[in-house]
Amino acid sequence: MYQLDPVNAAFAAKIASSPSPHETGNCQQAFDNLEELQKHEPAEDIQTDTIEVSGEYGPTTVALVRSKSLANRALPIVFYTHGGGYMMGSAKSFAVLLEDLARRTGAVIVFPEYTRVPFQTFPYQFHQSYEVLEYIVQNVHQHQLLAGTIALAGDSAGGHLAIGLTYLSLLQKLPARIGHLLLWAPTTTYDIKLPSHETFKNAPFLSQDSMKWMHDSFIPNEEDRKTPLASPLTYIPDEVLAQFPPTVLFLSTVDPLVDEGVAFGNRLQKAGVDAAIIKAEVVEVGLL
């Protein structure tokens, strides 16, 4: 058995009577449930603009979130990819986090609404999000953004996506520098089992059964899981990993994904990357 801090314990009690994602058996219902849970009135001090990026994988809706007090300035870029097992999450359900990041960083938070499962599966979301990243780099002046250095960030599945975008940016020579990588409880493997998967198989916010359902829905082909985009912990080559930017991993200790984050952080460190692993005790995934 494990303990939760008071805030997390209250949240766990709140959702205890709600079905877990896998119990809905329906991607749209899982999406709708999270949208309802995360309902939020837009903050008065934050400006959110929406654009559409066309291309091979578009059109993709993208939210640009910034503090109103900085609305007339060119600002740094935080490119944020959201979690939710590739089937849940939106700019609306992540609004509280995006607004807080905009306030705290003084940056524009660029939030691509990548196509969810079941409408597309692996690796579509990686190429779609990279297409948006390239567009942003090429159109900074149009959207009052600062060229040069970009921070990539993401949580859970979105952290998995942020790792993949870093990998693609190195392979495809993105004409901008990824200066920082910020990961909250990232997924880093689809092909191996780690102890925390079993230890926290009944965790309140993300159970093993829900995780398996989301994994199987996103990457149904077993062979696809043995690739750098799907399982960066195992398959990104050392020489590429060594080129990753300074990275911070924020991990929760009551989380089936915690060992994945630790293992990826350790691998970054062994490759010579400036990587910090920060654990929040008695906190569950989704509430870092």
Length of the chain: 288
- CA dist., res. 213 & res. 25, Å (int): 9
Contact (CB, 8 A) for 122 and 231: no
204, 1, 190: which is closest to 85 by C-alpha?
A: 190
**Are the CB atoms for 173 and 147 separated by under 8 Å?**
no
Question: Rounded distance, CA 21 to CA 195, Å?
Answer: 22
Tokens 């909250």 -> residue: 184
- From CA 161, how far away is CA 187, in angstroms rounded? 9
Confirm if 156 and 252 have CB atoms less than 8 A apart. no
- Active-site amino acid positions: 156
- β-strand 75-81 against 145-155: which pairing, if any? parallel
Q: What string of DSSP letters covers 183-245?
A: EES----SS---HHHHHTTT-SSS-HHHHHHHHHHH---GGGGSSTTT-HHHHS-HHHHTTPP
